[in-house]
Structure 1
């Protein structure tokens, strides 16, 4: 007789419609473990924005439900369609705040909602712990170490042509969704000059989007010839971003999706975080070779030391070049 307190998962839906690529990469640990521990389970997800493209390439998901700023009528229609799916479990990851999301969940009426709000009450843990907790609430083993597992091949011939085989590649990201997580222009130029001196033979790449391309170019120009490099625009090109992070030997970034993408490929990472004792724990890198640098402020990157970043980068390079 089964000792499970709840039925084994036959069909599961998880929420991923916040549009945050980094969160989606973290949640690949849940998808991979669920597929391994319940191979017959049918996995669905609600998606929006960047997560729609990300999960759309993942063959482990049977169906995606696009929830992109729906109106009330669309919310009800989607919820009733979800209700007909008869999910054993719906995983929301965090407490729902929007009334439309609450209504959608109530109308969907799953067998059980996976409640992870209790994780917020204790000391900070990495966000991947929520993946393990969700599995445990389904009666599946969750205590084993989980790993990110991106379900789409990082194929981009353009990136492969950009670098000669065997050449060291250092990828730097200066920009985040929130301005307070951006690296300022003066510190950015100092960082690029330092990297140029530290790894003069490496290909130095500055990642940007359409909105940050001009700023990235200006920083590269300010850094001067000692930091000869190139700007790589990954706007709307997920394969380019994935392959760049996989091809890189080292990624340096504030708390953004690049930290988690690089971790998924076990690329060496230096993450830069605000100094509040939480963010660097919850969203820290998970590569075998990784380091964290903290700012002077609890709510911004103000005051982080470029010298600390360069020292961490030098230590990681010594390890992967050994």
Structure 2
């Protein structure tokens, strides 16, 4: 059948679901697939992001790529700072396996004072188990939306919505998708206001993990915390975009879908609120394993060592400048 569709000839087939045929027809050369309710969808993939066979491989690829990108970013920042400060006189600083009080406070502010992500700063096995389980839960729920946005016209279980109508009494198809630029602007506002802060904080934690004053294990903890915080933010943005491309047909739907998906990002804070019924346990999981007295002695020792090297004004100026950069 020759139909008017965007100034092209369209060939329609009953290859959608639900279908009057069992199994549904397969028409690789058709430009429009319809179901028995006259709801249709172009066979060509308008949105390549929705071409998903299985969600699990996609999720694993996303995680692997993100971890790799974080490693490259951290290495680049470390090399840049080392090159920038190559001519600056340095005080002898011994890397510490645990964080100082100042670094602990900085990391806590960026990972979230009301989030289980702060357990990355500690060495508690319980704390790490809880935060890793939380991340797995968030990724698993987001993966459900990845599978739901799969573009498969022959799968009746797919969430994809038909956005064209081709009735049998006319030779013209018309689009039923009312989603416009206002809906996408609302989507962008929701994503930016809810996720941008977490993304920036995660990147700052990755940068913070490159500081040479931290020991190996302290750097690893900071890097892992920043990487996972940024990864969840990026994955949520990707999933929300992909899912709305697949099923949102008007402005209210795209807002509703976005709010539901964004709620998944709050699981870490909601779980932390439950755990705060046991504040002592939560505090122990957030500690990095160094008693407060030992941490204070260590800071006092570093301060005393610093004063020992403040013998001339020129050195004092260079040290002050270096401390500002650090």
TM-score, normalised relative to structure 2: 0.23
Q: With CA pairs under 8 Å and 6+ residues apart, which has the higher RCO, 1 or 2?
A: 2
Q: Which structure has the greater CA radius of gyration?
A: 2
Structure in which a larger fraction of residues adopt strand: 1
TM-score, normalised relative to structure 1: 0.23
